[in-house]
Structure 1
């Protein structure tokens, strides 16, 4: 899995980058075919926004979350993507 982290109106520090990488490794435990993750961290006045596009085999998933703390926004973003991946995996698996 290749993770790219970029910032908009924010400098992506090493601690933010390692936090994002450790959280997004959690996505591989449900679905092995996660190929590419692009994360954009944005600061808009008092709101911290995290959005991500995840490319898995045959589909692209997108989620975003806005909070007052960037770490909380990243955490909730990963939870949203985790639910989407589980839902996608259930759709593609055979239910015989």
Structure 2
């Protein structure tokens, strides 16, 4: 699994990278088919924006974007939103193949 962390108008420090990687390991470690994850951090006016893009096998692409005044809060919410989407997609596929 390749993890790419990009900052637009934001300096990505080692603490931010460690936080993102730790959160990704805990939340998305259960999905074995993930090929790559891109986390894009941005600043819009006073809000911090975190966008998580997950590319998985079988052309599955999940995108989650969250805004918050706190960068760490935006990262957490974005990754949790992507996790909910992956879980929903996985359950839909498993329920379909009885």
TM-score normalised per structure 1: 0.92
- Indicate the SS of the match to 1:40: strand
Q: 1:10-89 alignment to 2 at 5 Å? A: 10-25=10-25, 26-29=27-30, 31-58=31-58, 59-89=60-90
1:45: how far off? 2.1
Aligned twin of 1:8: 8
Partner deviation per Cα, 1:7-63 (whole Å, 9 max, x = no partner): 00011000001101111112122x211110011000122100000110112210001
* Distance (whole Å) between structure 2 residues aligned to residue 51 and residue 83 of structure 1: 14
1:95: how far off? 4.5
Q: Give every structure 1 segment of 4 or more consecutive aligned residues whose post-TM-superposition deviation is greater than 3 Å.
A: none
Q: What is the number of residues matched between the two proteins?
A: 95
Structure 1: runs of 5+ lacking an equivalent: none
CA RMSD of aligned residues (A): 1.1
Structure 2: runs of 5+ lacking an equivalent: none
- Indicate the SS of the match to 1:84: helix
